[in-house]
Amino acid sequence: MTSPERTEHLVLPGVLTAEQARATVNGILAGQREDGAIPWFRGHHLDPWDHTEAAMALDAAGEHEAAARAYEWLARHQNADGSWYAAYHDGDFEQITDRGRETNFSAYVAVGVWHHYLATGDDTFLDRMWPVVYAAVEFVLRLQQPGGQIGWKREEDGTVVNDALLTGSSSIHHALRCALAVAEQREEPQPDWELATGALAHAVRSHPERFLDKSRYSMDWYYPVLGGAVSGPEAKDRIESMWDDFVVPGLGVRCVLPNPWVTGGESCELALALWVMGESDRALEILQSIQHLRDEASGMYWTGYVFEGNRAVWPEELTTWTAGSLLLAVAALGGDEATTAVFGGERLPRGLAPDCCG
């Protein structure tokens, strides 16, 4: 069980008390398997991105041993080409339920590994995970397109899907910067990664035509900011442009337009993006607005809520990754050093941007 001193920085007015924070962390720990795997919830599948997000939340709460076990699970299950499958069956993680290999899912290990290192200072862990991060990045960059964007995935038969997703590529941009930080810490420069990171950032900032149009989804709205490719006045303009479309006052953030459905994960990620922009007050308001999604009995959070018609929680799932996203947002607002360094990005390498539009 999580001790009180480990969650002091996770106390946030109107969002989490110390007791509530401990309950949420314990809820994620209860969902983690003995081998380190963190499925969405017991009986559901595991995907490597959400598994990593939950592990990061455990580190933010001081549960470093549990987080390390989560990364060891990733190391044991990495494919020979550096990827992971998109979904593993809970209860038998050798059973694969989706054999697609998504670039976004595979890249995110770099964010988690860097976050764990900053939280613990464990050089042995970083040495052990470096080959995992290196192989994952190499898998991802083999799918980078001439315009800088990253192809979405490899199909089960190995076919490359060259179409790129703005959300996924924005998340990969963040992951590449963290991977470069790992390489820098180990004094193993990766100039090809620097070029790839700069080209990807430029594509995200300046070439929306290189990505599939998923503008109905709130993630495509805020992820270029959260992933660090768009910043400053451009970030503020981007967020303001669709604020009234996606934000439902008092309830949270829509997942997709025009559906009357707010979701906890998207709301917490927007709060993180707002914090990155220096707008902590609005970030706090977003986090306060989704407290109706909290299940006090478990300390966990419902995935979403339908706010028109027969108003109801939907789906009826209390997910580790929703709780994880909330804890990470709270940790950032609370000044947790590792979390602010990873998402604030001031100390992350930026890569080398091309001058194709100069």
Q: What is the pLDDT of residue 355?
A: 73
Would you state the structure tokens that stand for residue 297, as one six-digit string? 């009995």
**Apex CA 124: angle with CA 94 and CA 195, to 5°?**
80
**CA dist list (Å): 175 to 104, 184, 192, 228, 248:** 9, 14, 15, 10, 30
Would you state the structure tokens that stand for residue 149, as one six-digit string? 């964007």
Q: What pTM did the predictor assign? A: 0.97
C-alpha 103/C-alpha 161 separation (Å) is: 10
Q: What is the pLDDT of residue 61?
A: 98
Q: Which regions of the chain are under pLDDT 70?
A: 1-6, 92-94, 358
- DSSP string over 11-61: -BTTTB-HHHHHHHHHHHHHHS-TTS---SSTTS-B-HHHHHHHHHHHHHT
Would you state the structure tokens that stand for residue 31, as one six-digit string? 């969902």
Half-sphere exposure of 191 (CA within 13 A, CB side): 0
Q: What is the pLDDT of residue 353?
A: 81
Which is nearest to 46 in space by CA: 81, 96, 83?
A: 96
**CA dist list (Å): 273 to 118, 174, 269:** 20, 12, 6
Q: What is the pLDDT of residue 310?
A: 92
Would you state the structure tokens that stand for residue 184, as one six-digit string? 């820098």
Greatest Cα pair distance in the chain = 57
Would you state the structure tokens that stand for residue 237, as one six-digit string? 């303009």
In the chain the beta strands, taken as DSSP E runs, fall at: 87-88, 96-98, 101-102, 151-154, 160-164, 247-248, 252-254, 261-263, 294-295, 300-301, 304-306, 312-313
Q: What is the pLDDT of residue 2?
A: 63
Q: What is the pLDDT of residue 114?
A: 98
pLDDT digits (tens, 9 = 90+) for 271-284: 999 999 999 999 99
C-alpha 161/C-alpha 143 separation (Å) is: 8
